[in-house]
């Protein structure tokens, strides 16, 4: 057998044939197939290089990935829309169910499932049901059940023939007693398990509940609350008129007694109504005790006429009671302040100047009261500042009054009555306004103060002059004194234990600037003794007269 070996032109290694490497030598490696055309061998000692993925495959994978993301996002959006639509549908169904329940609870007819003497009366009104039960007709025969109480009597008419009206009332109450949930359960139960009523020959009352209300209207009495009539300034207490207890009918007790008399056909004995006493909501003891809500004092100057005007005005206001929600008005209480009422001529600010007028000084009464009212926590509804700053209160804390135009008003915003009280100490020249009430508006350790800020100032204008032909040359008379102007804003500052809780703008006050006004005679010429003749200058020429 010839030897298979390397001597053959083509070595025979099994069934595979290899061509010899041309370079020869010991480093010769077999070449397989197409390896001679540039490929590399995977034979002994060889290594196959990694092949690169085609670009088309990468693009396809990326497309599939993006498509997957798009499908996922679309699915989530579709799911969200379905959930939203489902929620809207559920909400619509819920609203529809609520509306249906409301209609059902307000239904003015018998509920389905009610049967009287074999006649289904569901959906019928009382009148329709009575007509449908006509074979069990009823009639009036002059019988009645008399109810007595509180010195009154009322005859409830009784029908004879059958107890149809009583049964109609009983059936009507089905589904109409209890809470809304309980009623809906009763109505649902009726639709599943009908309720049957039998009629009996005898007596009945048409709409007993309505007859009971007629008895109540006749015999009941409403309680009367104690009422404030005045305020005792000396005792610092409200004077109240006592209230009165009321009477209320015990409806269920009376209904049971009437039904008992009806079932026993006892029409001869009157039924006694049970009436219980009802105490009024407000008693004398609750409103007579007054507490001081706030007081404020100012000092007045010594002037007999002005002091008398202050006394008259403050006395007219002192002891005045303001009920909750009522408005207090100084002009309404005092009316026009005239000499006929004892008011005297005194200085009063009018159109920016001081003039003598009956009632001068009463603005100190209104200004003092304003400060007490604000600090008590009540609501001021009308207040005016003067055209000239007042000396008895800080700027922007005054309150001018002038009948009938300017007024000072406040509303009692508390839950109980308040009273205005004035006192006048002639020795210390002090006027005090106090507010008394039953229900303070401020809590414990709370207080109200006023804080005023200057907004702007206006300088005094130049002097103005009026002609007075009676005046001599160079003579001037001061008619009205001028002044500079200023504008302020005032805040309500609420504090507790000395710590500020709030600060709210109350009002602004404008005190206008005003020029001084003088009288003079511009046409006057110097008279004898009114000037000195200067000496003649040298040269004999006369100098002009200055």
pLDDT band (50, 70, 90) for residue 364: very high
Residue 25, pLDDT > 70, answer: no
Give the pLDDT confidence of 84-143 residue by residue, as tens digits: 888 888 887 878 888 888 988 999 999 999 999 899 999 999 889 988 887 666 666 678
Residue 64, pLDDT > 90, answer: no
pLDDT band (50, 70, 90) for residue 63: confident
Contact 252, 266 (CB under 8 A): no
Give the pLDDT confidence of 516-526 residue by residue, as tens digits: 999 999 999 88
**What fold does the segment set 444-529 form as a domain?**
Resuscitation-promoting factor rpfb fold (2.20.230)
Greater pLDDT, 196 or 349: 196
pLDDT band (50, 70, 90) for residue 171: very high
Distance CA 136, CA 138 (A): 7
Distance CA 380, CA 394 (A): 18
Contact 412, 293 (CB under 8 A): no
pLDDT band (50, 70, 90) for residue 336: very high
Classify residue 201 by burial, with Cβ atoms within 10 Å: 0-12, 13-18, 19+.
Answer: exposed
The contacts of residue 433 (CB under 8 Å, 6+ apart) are: 295, 296, 297, 314, 365, 368, 369, 371, 372, 373, 420, 421, 422
310-319: average pLDDT: 97
Q: What is the DSSP letter of 214?
A: H
Residue 37, pLDDT > 60, answer: no
What b/e readout covers 375-394, taking b as 16+ CB neighbours within 10 angstroms? bbbbebeebbbbbbbbebbe
The contacts of residue 62 (CB under 8 Å, 6+ apart) are: none
Most confident by average pLDDT, 13-22, 72-81, 154-163, 369-378: 369-378
pTM for the whole thing? 0.58
Residue 164, pLDDT > 50, answer: yes
Residue 263, pLDDT > 90, answer: no
Tokens 């130049």 — which residue? 462
> What percent of the chain has pLDDT above 70?
85
In 3D, which of 361, 410, 365, 360 has the Cα closest to residue 383? 410
Integer CA distances (angstroms), 93 to 80, 87, 88, in order: 20, 10, 8
Bridge-based pairing of strands 271-272 and 139-149 is parallel
The rounded mean pLDDT for the chain is: 85
């Amino acid at each position: 057998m010839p030897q298979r070996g390397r001597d053959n032109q083509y070595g025979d290694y099994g069934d595979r044939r290899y061509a010899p490497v041309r370079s020869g030598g010991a480093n010769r490696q077999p070449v397989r197939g197409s390896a001679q055309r540039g490929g590399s061998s995977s034979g002994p000692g060889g290594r196959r290089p990694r092949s690169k993925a085609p670009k088309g495959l990468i693009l396809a994978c990326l497309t599939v990935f993006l498509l997957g993301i798009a499908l996922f996002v679309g699915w989530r959006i579709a799911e969200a829309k379905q959930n939203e639509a489902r929620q809207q549908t559920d909400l619509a169904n819920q609203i529809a169910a609520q509306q249906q329940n409301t209609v059902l609870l307000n239904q003015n007819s018998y509920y389905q499932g009610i049967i009287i003497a074999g006649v289904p009366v569901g959906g019928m009104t009382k009148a329709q049901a009575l007509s449908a039960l006509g074979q069990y007709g009823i009639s009036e025969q002059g019988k009645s059940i008399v109810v007595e109480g509180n010195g009154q009597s009322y005859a409830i008419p009784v029908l004879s023939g059958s107890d149809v009206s009583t049964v109609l009332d009983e059936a009507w109450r089905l589904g109409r007693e209890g809470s809304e949930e309980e009623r809906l359960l009763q109505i649902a139960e009726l639709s599943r398990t009908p309720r049957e009523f039998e009629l009996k020959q005898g007596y009945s009352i048409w709409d007993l509940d309505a007859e009971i209300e007629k008895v109540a209207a006749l015999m009941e009495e409403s309680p009367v609350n104690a009422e404030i009539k005045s305020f005792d300034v000396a005792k610092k207490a409200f004077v109240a008129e006592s209230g009165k207890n009321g009477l209320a009918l015990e409806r269920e007790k009376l209904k049971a007694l009437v039904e008992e008399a009806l079932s026993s056909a006892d029409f001869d004995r009157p039924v006694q109504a049970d009436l219980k006493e009802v105490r009024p909501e407000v008693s004398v003891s609750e409103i007579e005790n007054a507490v001081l809500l706030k007081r404020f004092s100012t000092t007045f100057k010594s002037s007999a006429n002005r002091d008398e005007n202050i006394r008259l005005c403050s006395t007219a206001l002192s002891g005045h009671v303001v009920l909750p929600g009522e408005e207090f008005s100084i002009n309404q209480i005092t009316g026009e302040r005239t000499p006929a009422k004892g008011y005297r001529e005194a200085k009063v600010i009018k159109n920016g100047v001081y003039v003598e007028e009956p009632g001068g000084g009463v603005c100190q009464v209104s200004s003092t009261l304003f400060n007490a009212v604000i600090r008590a926590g009540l609501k001021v509804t009308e207040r005016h500042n003067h055209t000239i700053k007042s000396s008895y209160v800080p700027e922007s804390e005054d309150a001018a009054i002038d009948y009938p135009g300017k007024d000072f008003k406040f509303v009692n915003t508390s839950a109980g009555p308040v009273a205005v009280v004035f006192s006048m100490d002639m020795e210390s020249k002090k006027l005090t306004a106090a507010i008394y009430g039953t229900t303070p508006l401020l809590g414990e350790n709370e207080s109200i103060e006023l804080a005023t800020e200057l907004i702007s100032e206006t300088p005094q204008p130049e002097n103005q002059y009026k002609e007075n032909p009676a005046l001599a040359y160079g003579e001037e008379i001061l008619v009205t004194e001028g002044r500079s102007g200023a504008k302020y804003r005032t805040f309500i500052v609420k504090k507790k234990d000395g710590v500020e809780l709030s600060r709210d703008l109350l009002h602004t006050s404008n005190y206008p600037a005003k020029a001084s006004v003088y009288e003079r005679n511009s046409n006057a010429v110097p008279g004898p003794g009114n000037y000195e003749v200067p000496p003649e200058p040298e040269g004999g020429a006369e100098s002009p007269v200055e």
